[in-house]
Structure 1
Amino acid sequence: MIHKEGVTFLIYAFFIIFLFIFLSIFLFSKLTNFFISVLLISLYIFLLFFFRNPKRNFPYSENEKEIISPADGKIVDIKKSFENEYLQKYCICISIFMSPFNVHVNRFPISGKIIYVKYHPGKYLIAWFQKASLNNERSTIVIENKKKQKILFRQIAGFLARRIVLYAKEGFFVKKGEEFGFIKFGSRVDIYLPLNSILLIKNGEKVIGGKTKISIIP
């Protein structure tokens, strides 16, 4: 299944690629045209792969203490960090890097009420750089569960990413595993958890958005 964020893009890309292949027939030799065609068709196959949205019907636990991964990717950092945008306290920050080969759908890591949503325009540094969380284009979401615990997570655009798509709206109640956004072409998601959380993952581990349990909060 193709994600809705890719449908229009893929239609335009198809006609542009078709036009280039058609023109190359008249402009280049047969051998050159063959290599151009293979290259462009391979590019289009990659774009189809990038915008995939596999159906995931996971039996999400109603346990409010279980936090699931908000994104597919690799854990590139786990550290104690002061969150100064909203929480204003030290937390455990887990950073998940999404390469261009990962599914780029982002999912709510916990159920509850969205109490804060903020988009920040910015630069496009390589996503795994530490300063990317402060300087890059990003969006911040905070969810409060029934026990009044607040979990903050942040979409961070990367070097190739040029658009963060965010569906989350302040005041809405959401369920764990539902989509909250999409980032195009390589990016990162950070999630801030209480210091006394029990971590279920380690640095370097690969995670699946909406499936992998990453922590149990107190």
Structure 2
Amino acid sequence: MFHKEGQKIILISFLLTAGVALAAHFYVETELLRILLQVAALIFLVLILQFFRNPRRLVNPVFDQILSPVDGKVVVIEEVEEKEYFKDRRLQVSIFMSPINVHVTRYPISGVVTYSKYHPGKYLVAWHPKSSEENERTTVVIRTPKFGEVMYRQIAGALARRIVNYAEEGDQVNQGEDAGFIKFGSRVDLLLPLNSQIAVQLKQKAKGAKTCIAHLPDSMDES
């Protein structure tokens, strides 16, 4: 299953791959070079298909857990001053996506979207400390029944030049549903209430709509 954001690129990639393969077959006389060109075109197509894959993730929504919005590696867990919306201290968990990760963004929790804003900006490498505030990004806040308001940011990296965000203010969203897409390597930040119990560790691999990032105090013991 492939993401709808990749449909145009996948089609173009199929045509390019077919064109290179046919051109090599008819116009390249050296057998080794012909094979190399055809293999290279096929590898290019496989990489494009792999990048835009959208595996189905079935979720039974829970209101006392924040699930990872993306596939990737946890690179930041720290208390920060959130300056855009809350203007107070929050727990930040950042997940870095390499080009080989699934790049679908999924809603980390169910609720109502109370804030959704796009910010143009720079294209610093996604793990740069200032990328959260200076890079191109979108900020989304969801009001939840138990956590209060939870924020996540899609952040462009050095290669990611297009962020797709489906969240609109007033939307009722469900945990695990498709929330957008970031093309090529990038990062997502979660900004959570200070009483959140972080359930992941630095360098841990997270899986979108599967890995619990944080939960309310004692909620894991009650479940």
In the superposition, the TM-score normalised over structure 2's length comes to 0.91
Give the distance between the partners of 2:2 and 2:38, measured in 1 at CA: 23
Structure 2 unaligned runs (5+)?
218-223
Instruction: Give the match's secondary structure for 1:102.
Output: coil
Give the distance between the partners of 2:135 and 2:117, measured in 1 at CA: 14
**Cα pair 2:57 2:176 within 8 Å, conserved:** no
Q: CA deviation at 1:197?
A: 1.3
Which residue of structure 1 lines up, in the alignment, with residue 127 of structure 2? 128
How does 1:1-218 map onto structure 2 within 5 Å?
A: 1-25=1-25, 26=27, 29-61=30-62, 64-147=63-146, 149-217=148-216
Q: CA deviation at 1:27?
A: 5.0
**Cα pair 2:111 2:172 within 8 Å, conserved:** yes
Instruction: Give the match's secondary structure for 1:17.
Output: helix
Instruction: Give the match's secondary structure for 1:87.
Output: coil
1:78-115 deviation line (CA, Å, top 9, x unaligned): 11111101110111110000111111111111111101
Q: CA deviation at 1:147?
A: 4.9
Give the distance between the partners of 2:140 and 2:35, measured in 1 at CA: 47
Give the distance between the partners of 1:10 and 1:213, measured in 2 at CA: 32
Cα gap change, 1:98/1:148 in structure 2, threshold over 3 Å: closer, same or farther?
closer
Give the distance between the partners of 1:109 and 1:148, measured in 2 at CA: 12
**Cα pair 1:116 1:140 within 8 Å, conserved:** yes
**Cα pair 2:153 2:188 within 8 Å, conserved:** yes
Which residue of structure 1 lines up, in the alignment, with residue 220 of structure 2? none
Give the distance between the partners of 1:125 and 1:21, measured in 2 at CA: 37
Give the distance between the partners of 2:29 and 2:87, measured in 1 at CA: 61
**Cα pair 1:91 1:193 within 8 Å, conserved:** yes
Identity %: 46
Give the distance between the partners of 1:47 and 1:147, measured in 2 at CA: 39
Instruction: Give the match's secondary structure for 2:115.
Output: strand
**Cα pair 1:194 1:217 within 8 Å, conserved:** no
Structure 1 unaligned runs (5+)?
none
Number of equivalences: 216
C-alpha root-mean-square deviation of aligned residues, in Å? Answer: 1.5
Instruction: Give the match's secondary structure for 1:12.
Output: helix
